[in-house]
Each structure stands twice: as C-alpha cells, then as structure tokens.
Structure 1
Amino acid sequence: MAGNAENTYPLTMGQLSLWQDAVRRPASQRWESNMNPAWPVPSGIGTDKVRWALAALAERHESLRTRYGTAGDSSEVHQIVAESAPAAYQGTVEREQWSAMAAEQLRLPFDLTEQPPWRAWAVQKDGLTCQVQLIIHHLAADGAALMVLQQDFQSLIASRAATRPAPTPRGLAARQREPAYAARLAAAAEYREQTIAAAPREAGIERQGLLRACAHTGISFGLARKTAQKLEVTLPNLLFAAYSHALAGMAGGDSPLLCLLSANRLEPSVRNLVSSMTQWVPVRSAEGAGRPFAAVAADANINAIRALQHGIVDPAAVAPLDLDRGCFFTFVSPPATDTAAGGGLGQSRIEWLPPRGRSGPSFYLIASVFPEVSLTLRVMRSGYDREGLESLLSSMTATLRQEAAR
C-alpha cells in the first residue's frame, strides 16, 4: 500500500479530529476505536459471493483502502489511498468459533499507517453462510457510514449495481480547504470558544472508577416519535433536552457544559460518504429551573440545531475539548424503517452494565430509540456513585414517560 503523489491527499476535518484522538490515547486503549458490526447474509449465498462483495465494497469506498501517514518531507498526516482493494477478508469461521475469538479480535488494534482499517469474516452455521462479521476502525467509518456500507453490501450481494459514484473523503478534504470554506470554519471556531467560555467551570474533576448503566424507558420508537412531533422538536433533541433538564436539576439549576457528537451530514453531497465525519460540538445550555419541560425542550432544540450548524471545526485551529469537563451526548440513529416498533408505554427498568472502554468522555450518555428508547450512561469521575447516577437516569425516564403519556 505504498503511497505516491497520485494517491496522497490531505485529511478531512473529521479524519483529522479522529486521528488526533487516536494518537493521544495510550497504546492499551487504541483498540477502543474498533467497531464490530454484523451483517446478515441471505440464505443460499456462498462464501465466494461474500468475498467478492466485500472486495467490491472496498473498490467503491476509498476509506476501506486508506492508510494514514506523512508524505514526502512534510510532517503533516495525509490519507494514502490504494488504487486497488487490500486483502481485508480473513476467511470463513463457524459461529461457535467466532464466538470464541470475537473478543480477542475486537481488542486487536489496527496499525493505521500500514494496514487496511478493517477485517471481515464470513460466519457459518451448520455449513451455511449466515452473516458477515466486521472489525472496523472508527476512522474508516462512523455510525452513519456503517449503515451506508451495509446497504451497499446488501445491494452487491443481490447483484444490484450502484447507481452513482460514491463520494470520497479526498473530495471533501479539497472542498474544506477552498477559500470559500474558511469563513465557515472560522465561525465554528468562534462559536466553540464563546460557548465553552460561557459555561460554568467545574472544579476538582478527577477521572477514576467506571460506572455504567442503561435506563430501559419502556417508550416505544413509535411513541417517542409522536412525542417529539407533539413538542415540535426532533427526536434526538427530545432526548438531549431530557438530559439537559435532568443535569440542571442535579446541579441545582446550573446546567454544566454540554457537548453533542455531530454527524456533520447536513449537506446532501456527504450524506452517503463512508468516512468518519463526527466531531464534538459544545451546546449553549437551555435554562431549566422551574420551567415546563415543553419550554426547555423548545430551547434545547434550537440550541442543538445551532450547534450542529457549527459542527465542522478545524482541529488545528482550536484547543482540544477537555473530555473531563462537561457532559457529553450521542444519539444512535434508528435503522432505515417506517415501522413504528412496539406499541406504546411499557415497563421501565435500570440495568447496571459491566465496564467497557476507558477512552473518550468521562461523563457520557448514549441514547438509542429502536425498538425502544434506551439511555446508556457511562461515568468515570470522582464524586459520583450508583445512587446518584440511578437518580439521574430515573429523572430522565420519568420526564420522557410523562411527556409520552400526555
């Protein structure tokens, strides 16, 4: 995969952000950027077709045949795109064999300067291929990109040709370095600086311990969508508002600094780009003390939308976010479906989870909505115990259930 002038390009802002995060991590934590999606394979598809489809997928999407390193005499990191797909297919394993090796493979880090950023296996049950199992680095694909990859893989398996060329990270990197883009990056940097400066300071934060719990709210996907529509907010921002509201209550009215993980896919030209585009963006707090939740949700919705408009920032032009200051939030998009999963309002419960991963934000909520709303909170800070985190999750759940029941 040696690079040359014809296949060496600057990084996008999203790639640069993820690269800086990866190299700052201790070596023992670098595997935590690995993701392990599994894609079902229709009955009757053999391993030869699976192997061909995976190779065709890499030919279509440049990030699957990209390594990262310096070029020439420059110290700047570039993306180095191979003209043909490297061998990422690892062979065929039985389901029981994969179960035994999955954890080890997930924890095996990639050398992004030398290796393709993904590995794939065909998994069989009773001699028949049932799924494809991937280990893929976050720098090659974010959550939205994984859905694009799965859709394209399924089309290839079904022998459906792509209808249009795939967008490329190098194309986005070139646009982000045009003079017309400079004002956008400058506005994002200014917004970021002002928002962080206006947030309350938090003293005495120490990273220690690890508590992880999931609130199963009992609110179905369909009911959650209706609740968001009734409040005239987006579904992600409904959950973000409940998070902000509960945090303000826990802090006695002063909401801490809040940060959203922005997908940065607002423009149609990058909606189907396979790469990592995500960056953290701070959000102005919605004052929540003594106000009806509907009013808090309306403000949080506006503030979040404004923040996402400033989601693309040049990491070289701003100070890195302090991942131990403030509270972070990610929304996991539902699958592409019109199905309103489940009925209405079921039972709620809180489940305590085993530790997993110590990199990234030390106060972090991951919200998913399919088939029901689930809120997974991970905290690695002094001063928090199970009782306090259970109270926070219970407060969020109660708020959302109350709105859903109206």
Structure 2
Amino acid sequence: MSGDETFPATVGQLSVWRDIERFPPDRLWEANLSFVWDLPEGDWTQEQVWAALGAVAMRHASMRTTYVVDPEGFPRQRIAAHTAEEVLAQVRQGTADVAEREEKDAAEIRRAIDALSELPWRAWILLEGDAPRQVLVVVNHMAADGVASVVLREDFETILGGTDLPAAPGPLELALNQTGEGSGRLRNAERYWRRTLAAAPRRHETGELDPVGAVLQTGIPMPQAHEAMAKFEVTLASLILAAYYRGIQAATGEQEVLLFPMSANRFDEQHARVVTSLNQWAPLLLDLDAAEPFTEILPKVHWKAFNALKNGVCSPDAIWQIRDEHAKLDPPADRGFYYNPMLAPPGFPSDDHLVAPKIDFFDHGRTTGPGFYLIVRGLTSLNLMFRVNRSGFDRDSVNTVMTTMQDCFAQTLGGDRF
C-alpha cells in the first residue's frame, strides 16, 4: 500500500464528513474531540511517551489517514506510508504544565484539524515539574469516536509498558465490506428509518431559543452502577436511556418521544476494537405510559433500543434524504432527542464511594449538531452533559430532565435524590 492510493470511506467516516461539510468555516473545530490520559505510575521520560504515541499511530491506520474528495463529493481514505518518526513530526505539539490542562484543552480543541491536508490528531505531554504526568490528545472525529479513544488509551499504556503490538485491522477493511457483501444491511437500515420517522410525532417548535449547557454529576461510582445492573438484566446504557426518556416525559408532558441513541456499531469481535468513527444515530420511538413504574419500563426500553441499534449502520446520504422529507411535512416530524453513552466496562479504575449529586450550568459554545443532546461519560463515576439548542427548552426544563433522571438512578443504582 502506498501513500498515493485511495480507498472508499466507511459509512461512519462519510457520516462525519457530511456533518463537517455543513459546518461554517469558523465552526470546523466542532469536529474535534479531546481526551486527557493519566500516565500509569512510573518514571517516564518525554521520549518514552512520544515513542509510545508514535507506535500507536503505526498500529492504527486511521491515525495516519487523510482524505481526498472525489468528483462526486465522496471522501476517500489515503493512508500515509509514514514511519513513526514522520508521524510525530506532524502531530507532536510539545509540552505544557499539568496545571494548565483545562485552559490548554479548551484552547486546542477550538483549533480545527483539516482532514484533507493534515494527519487527524495532535498531542501534548502535560508535565508536573519536569515529569510527564498526562497526555492531551485532540483528534478529528473522522479518525476516532469515544470508544476508539478508549482503545487508543489502552494500546498506548500497553506499548508504554514495554509490550509491542502489531498492526490492527482498520477502517479500510470495513469500508470494502460495506461496499460489497455488507451493503444489504445498509438497505435494511433505510427501511427501518422510513418506518420509524413515518410513525414519529409531528409538531412545530415554539418558544424562544435559549442555548443551555449543563452537567449532572450523579455522584454514583461506576463499580456501584455496574453492580446494581446485575438485578435488572439490561445494559447500563439502556437504563440511562430509560431515565432520559422519563426525564423528557416529565419536562414536556408528552408520552410519545422520538429518541436518537448513538450506535457504537461494535457488536462483533471483528469491529470491537477498530479505531475509526463507527458511531451513527439510530431512531427509537418510545410510547410508554408515564405512570408505569420505572423498573417495569426498563426491559421494554432495553429491547426496543436493541432493535433500533441493529439499524445503526446506514448510508448517511440515504438517511439525510429520508429526514429531509419528514422535515418538510406540515407539521414537520419532531427533531428528536439525542443520546450518546460512553461507559467504561466493569473493572476500569474508578471512584469507590458515593458523593452528593450536583448540577452545573455552563455556556457550551457549540452551534452545530443535535438540538437536544445528552452525552454520558462513565469512566470513574456517572456524569451526564447536556447541550441544548432547541426552541422551547430552557434551564428549567433541562433541570427537570436532570432531576427526574437522578430520581430514576436513585431507585435503581443507589445514590441520592436532589
């Protein structure tokens, strides 16, 4: 494989690209994701850390990939035949003091990465004195998603610890499958989208647009959350989705809700650890009695979500056409409520004690993407971040969603109510 060859993009990569195409030039940074990795205990030198980062890029082709847009407007992968040293020459950004982490992170995520002309990531070592303590990585969403970031972190720690890792399967193999024998799955997803949006509620949006950013720190450590799940026979992601549904019901007074959970599309061993952007939305229409006990709707939400997520691999162009058709109805189809869970598996180093729940509001600064978006970060403890740019929703309604969800968590996972 030479650096001059190009290959089809995966539908996940194409999905991100279609979003990037719609960003205004001054908002291209919104395609960036950022991660801060604590270094394992040890006396690491800067060169050891840089060498491990370079080795990770050699293992995962997406970290060496730029894109070329063909005459029909489709991105194609160009995988650079770089050495680790050549990769680091492009992505190595130097060092900063660990005390400056938040400021550095906030500044660097707003510096766009051009996926057509530069490698899709940048890295900094954060120092305490002269000693490396953390790594800050900013990556274009074309190259990785939230699950892929965990894979990158685990591989980085393994390599830093002295274990070499071979090249891993990448998005090239996945793209070739999707243009061949895997294309039938794409057509099935299109049919599911048409059926679901045809049945979805239709309503005009009313009220003022009042952008809201908020974080709910549930105070629930991840080990306790995983332990509590055992008695419900559903996934933690499904339980949080059910609580989200209950929160929206409480805030809107509507029983029927169109949700868009994020499908990680990592349901088989072949794709579980592929570093690329596999995430795509899947529509889920829920219409369950608001008076029904929360624990009784859990299995219903779980299996409905399971069916929806099977349709998460889809052609973004076909789905955009379907959504556009329903947006032009009078009244239009509801825009829906989005949900993206990023949950560490059991055994991940975590907090070990409950603390009181807390809500903080903030200016999220993003103008693109879903109008009502819940991102769940479950690494050490369970934290929920909301980004809302949707008319008719303000701090009070978002607060209602969060307090209702916390009540659901208290019933099932432990923790305190507000």
TM-score (norm 1): 0.90
Q: Deviations 1:56-81 (Å, cap 9, x if unpaired)?
A: 2111111111111135x664320111
Partner of 2:403: 394
Partner of 1:92: 95
Q: Deviations 1:230-287 (Å, cap 9, x if unpaired)?
A: 2221111001011112222333342221101111000110111111100011013141
SS of corresponding position for 1:166 = coil
Letter in 2 for 1:358: T
Partner of 1:9: 7
**Are the aligned partners of 1:242 and 1:400 in contact in 2 as well (CA < 8 Å)?**
yes
CA distance in 1, matches of 2:137, 2:414: 40
Letter in 2 for 1:117: P
Q: Deviations 1:270-311 (Å, cap 9, x if unpaired)?
A: 111111100011013141332121221111100111111111
CA distance in 2, matches of 1:101, 1:250: 36
SS of corresponding position for 2:311 = coil
Quote how far apart the aligned CAs of 1:318 are.
Answer: 2.3
Quote how far apart the aligned CAs of 1:181 are.
Answer: 1.7
**Are the aligned partners of 1:217 and 1:401 in contact in 2 as well (CA < 8 Å)?**
no
Partner of 2:78: 80
The question of 1:130 aligning with 2:128 is answered no
Larger mean Cα displacement after TM superposition, 208-217 or 140-149: 208-217
SS of corresponding position for 2:230 = helix
The question of 1:331 aligning with 2:302 is answered no
Structural mapping, 1:6-405, within 5 Å: 7-41=5-39, 42-70=41-69, 75-85=73-83, 86=87, 87-95=90-98, 101-162=104-165, 164-178=166-180, 180-204=181-205, 208-319=209-320, 321=323, 325-334=335-344, 337=347, 341-343=351-353, 346-404=355-413
CA distance in 2, matches of 1:370, 1:76: 35
**Are the aligned partners of 2:223 and 2:346 in contact in 1 as well (CA < 8 Å)?**
no
Letter in 1 for 2:218: T
**Are the aligned partners of 1:43 and 1:130 in contact in 2 as well (CA < 8 Å)?**
no
Q: Deviations 1:312-358 (Å, cap 9, x if unpaired)?
A: 001132226579811111112126625674346x4333222232322
**Are the aligned partners of 1:248 and 1:254 in contact in 2 as well (CA < 8 Å)?**
yes
Q: Deviations 1:120-167 (Å, cap 9, x if unpaired)?
A: 1223221222222211111111111111111111122112011x5401
Letter in 2 for 1:403: T
Q: Deviations 1:378-403 (Å, cap 9, x if unpaired)?
A: 21122222222212211121122123
Quote how far apart the aligned CAs of 1:98 are.
Answer: 6.0
CA distance in 1, matches of 2:365, 2:17: 21
SS of corresponding position for 2:94 = strand
In structure 2, the CA distance between the partners of 1:39 and 1:375, relative to structure 1 (3 Å rule), is closer
SS of corresponding position for 1:367 = strand
Letter in 2 for 1:268: E
CA distance in 2, matches of 1:101, 1:221: 28
In structure 2, the CA distance between the partners of 1:3 and 1:23, relative to structure 1 (3 Å rule), is farther
SS of corresponding position for 1:152 = helix
**Are the aligned partners of 2:58 and 2:167 in contact in 1 as well (CA < 8 Å)?**
no
**Are the aligned partners of 1:244 and 1:286 in contact in 2 as well (CA < 8 Å)?**
no
**Are the aligned partners of 1:17 and 1:315 in contact in 2 as well (CA < 8 Å)?**
yes
SS of corresponding position for 2:229 = helix
CA distance in 1, matches of 2:313, 2:283: 12
CA distance in 2, matches of 1:387, 1:101: 32
In structure 2, the CA distance between the partners of 1:102 and 1:269, relative to structure 1 (3 Å rule), is same
In structure 2, the CA distance between the partners of 1:352 and 1:240, relative to structure 1 (3 Å rule), is same
CA distance in 1, matches of 2:158, 2:258: 43
In the alignment, structure 1 segments of 5+ residues that lack a partner are none
In the alignment, structure 2 segments of 5+ residues that lack a partner are 328-333
In structure 2, the CA distance between the partners of 1:319 and 1:207, relative to structure 1 (3 Å rule), is farther
In structure 2, the CA distance between the partners of 1:70 and 1:380, relative to structure 1 (3 Å rule), is closer
Q: Report the number of matched residues.
A: 399
Quote how far apart the aligned CAs of 1:201 are.
Answer: 1.1
CA distance in 1, matches of 2:379, 2:126: 25
In structure 2, the CA distance between the partners of 1:159 and 1:217, relative to structure 1 (3 Å rule), is closer
In structure 2, the CA distance between the partners of 1:356 and 1:57, relative to structure 1 (3 Å rule), is same
TM-score (norm 2): 0.88
Q: Deviations 1:14-68 (Å, cap 9, x if unpaired)?
A: 0000111111111222112212212233432212222222222111111111111
**Are the aligned partners of 1:217 and 1:374 in contact in 2 as well (CA < 8 Å)?**
yes
Give the alignment's Cα RMSD to 1 decimal. Answer: 2.5
Quote how far apart the aligned CAs of 1:118 are.
Answer: 0.7
Larger mean Cα displacement after TM superposition, 210-219 or 140-149: 210-219
SS of corresponding position for 1:398 = helix
CA distance in 2, matches of 1:185, 1:374: 33
Letter in 2 for 1:14: G
In structure 2, the CA distance between the partners of 1:139 and 1:338, relative to structure 1 (3 Å rule), is closer
SS of corresponding position for 2:389 = strand
**Are the aligned partners of 1:199 and 1:257 in contact in 2 as well (CA < 8 Å)?**
yes
SS of corresponding position for 2:270 = helix
CA distance in 2, matches of 1:356, 1:200: 29
CA distance in 1, matches of 2:348, 2:45: 31
